[in-house]
Amino acid sequence: MRRIGCAVSPARAPERAAAVARRGLRAVVLAAIATAATPASGRLSVGDLDRATRARAAILEIDAPAARNILKDADPADPALALERGRLAIYEGDCDAAAAILARPDLAATAEGAALGDIARGCARATAATVIVNDEANGVWVRLQDDDDRALVPLLVEVATKTRDVLAKDLGVELLRPLRIDLVRDQFTLSAMTGLPEDAARTTGTVAIAKWGRVTMLSPRATPNGYPWLDTLAHEITHLALSRGTRDNAPLWLQEGVAKREEVRWREPDPLDDVPSADAIAWLGLQKGLGRPLDKIGPSIAMLPSAEEAAIVFAEVASFIRYWTREAGDAALPQLLARLKEASSDADLERAIAEISGADLAAWDKRWRAYLATVPADVPPDLAPGADMPHRQEVSRRVRLGQLLHDRGHHAAAAVQHARAQALAPHEPAVRCFLAASLLASGERASAAPLVERVEDVTSRHGRWWSLHGLLHGGPDADRAFSTGTALDPLNPDVACEEKLPPELPADPVRSALCEAARRRKP
C-alpha cells in the first residue's frame, strides 16, 4: 500500500511461496511437514500427504466448505493434516482454534508451522473481545476491533456485494460466502494479523492486506483525514478473487495491476481516478531509474524501501494491465486466470500469456514501454512520487492560525489567513475547504461556493471538498457528492453529517447512524 499526500492505495503481501510455482503444491506440502514427525524408528512420517495437498488446494481457493469436507474425521495425530486444519482455522477467522492446533511441538518445529503459529497467536490477541457482524443475507462477515465502527458496516457490505458481482463479470471468478473483512485500529494490529512487518507497513503507508482468505484493513478512524477506504476494500477483494481464481498462482505484477484496475469499477468513474496519470507516473519512474521490471518487484509492494518507489511500481503495474487488457481484449484476463489455476511453473505462465494474447510477457513489456514514450508525461511537481506540497510550512502556519481564529469565532480574520494559504496552494482541496468553511461562517456563501464547485480545480480527492460541494452545489448531484465524501472520510462529522449542525441528522438512515458515530468520535 502506498501513501501519496492524502491518497492511500493498498498493496498485498501474497501468501503463495515461489516454490508453489516451481515445484508444485504437493512438493510444497511435503517440504512444509518434512520435520513434523519423526517416530522412534527414525524414519520420517509425513502423514496423509495426498489428502493434505487437496485440503491446501481448497484453502488457497478460499473454498472453506470443500476444505472442511476433505479434513472431516482426519486423524488428529497426522502432522500434514493438522497443519492444514490450523491453516483453515486462520482462513475462517477462528484464530484461537488455529493457535491451539499450531502450538503442537511437532508443527511448531517446522518453518511453516512456526510461521502460521505466529500469525494465529497475533490474530488471537488482536481479536480478543471483538464484535462480529454477520450479514448472512448478503454473505458478508465483518469483525470489528472497535464497536464504534459498527456504523461503517452497511457501507462495507454494500461495496463488498457490488465488488463481488463486478469481479464475477470481469474476472469470471465467483467468491464464496461469507466474504470476510477485519477492521482494525492500527498498523500494529494489521501487522500482527497478516504477517506484514510493521516497519514495512509504516514505510509504504499500508492500510490493508488481502491475505489468509480475508481482507484486513485499518478503520478510517486510524488516519487523521480518512483514506479511500471503500476503493481500498474493492482493491483487496480483487486480490481474494485472484487468489481463488488462480489458486494463488498469480504473480505480483498481475495481482496488483488487476486490483488497481478493479478497485474503482464498483462505482461510477470519478474525474480524479487517474490524476496523476498512471502512464505518466510509470514513465517518470522509468526515466528516474526507480521503475522495476514487472517480474522483479519482490514479494510485496508493501515491502519496497520507500513510499516513492511503491507509488511508481503501483503506477507501472496499473498502466501495464490497462494497456494489456485494452490490446488483448476483455476476454483475455479471465482466460489467463483460468490457465494459471493449473500452472506449476513460470514457464506455464509465459506459455499461457503467449497463447492467449499472441505474445509473451517480454514482448508485451517492450510494446508497453514503447507506448509509454508516446503518452503525455507532464506531471505537476507536487503530484510526482515523493514530492511535497510547495510552501508547505507557510501553508500549514496560515491554516493553523486561521483555525485558531475560526474556533474563537473570528471568522472574517480566519478567512484572511486561509485565503493566504490558498493562494500558495491553489489546487489543494483541504486548504480550499478551510477557506470555504471560514467564508460560510462569515455569511459569505457566494464567495465560498466557487472554491468547491469544479473538481477540475483540485488535484486530489478529499472528503470535505465533496460534502461542501454537496451543500453549496446541491440539486440532483448532492446525494452523489455526499456519498463520495463518506467514501473518503466517513468519520469526519462535517462529511458524515452532510455539513448539518447538531442535532440535525441526514435523512438517509445509514448516513444518520454514521453521522452520530462521527460526532461521538474522540478527537
- For residue 76, pLDDT over 80 is answered with yes
Domain map (residue ranges) of the chain: 18-126, 392-520
Lowest mean pLDDT among 117-126, 358-367, 371-380: 371-380
**Which three cell numbers, joined as nine digits, stand for 10?**
493498498
Q: What local confidence, expressed as pLDDT, does residue 15 receive?
A: 38
- Cα Rg of the chain, angstroms: 25
- Enter the pTM of the model: 0.90
Measured distance CA(232)–CA(234) in Å, rounded: 5
- For residue 11, pLDDT over 80 is answered with no
Angle (CA) 121-125-127 rounded to 5° is 115
Could you report the per-residue pLDDT of 481-500, keeping only the tens digit for each?
A: 999 999 999 999 999 999 99
**Which three cell numbers, joined as nine digits, stand for 154?**
452497511
> Are 455 and 421 spatial neighbours (Cβ–Cβ below 8 Å)?
no
The band of 8, judged by pLDDT with boundaries at 50, 70 and 90, is very low
**Which three cell numbers, joined as nine digits, stand for 27?**
512438493
Q: What local confidence, expressed as pLDDT, does residue 27 receive?
A: 54
Q: Taking residues 385-390, what's their average pLDDT? A: 78
Residue 253: name the closest of 327, 318, 329, 203 by CA.
318
Given the DSSP bridges, would you call strands 2-4 and 7-9 parallel, antiparallel or unpaired? antiparallel
Torsion of CA 484, 330, 14, 10, to 10 degrees: -20
Q: What local confidence, expressed as pLDDT, does residue 28 receive?
A: 53
> Are 36 and 79 spatial neighbours (Cβ–Cβ below 8 Å)?
yes
Q: Is the peptide bond prior to 178 cis by the omega test (within 30 degrees of 0)?
A: yes
- Residue with the three cell numbers 448532492: 478
DSSP state of 181: E
Strand partners, 140: 135, 179
The band of 476, judged by pLDDT with boundaries at 50, 70 and 90, is confident
- For residue 356, pLDDT over 60 is answered with yes
- For residue 351, pLDDT over 70 is answered with yes
Could you report the per-residue pLDDT of 417-449, keeping only the tens digit for each?
A: 999 999 999 999 999 999 999 999 999 999 999
Mean residue pLDDT of the chain comes to 89
Domain 392-520 has CATH 1.25.40.10: yes
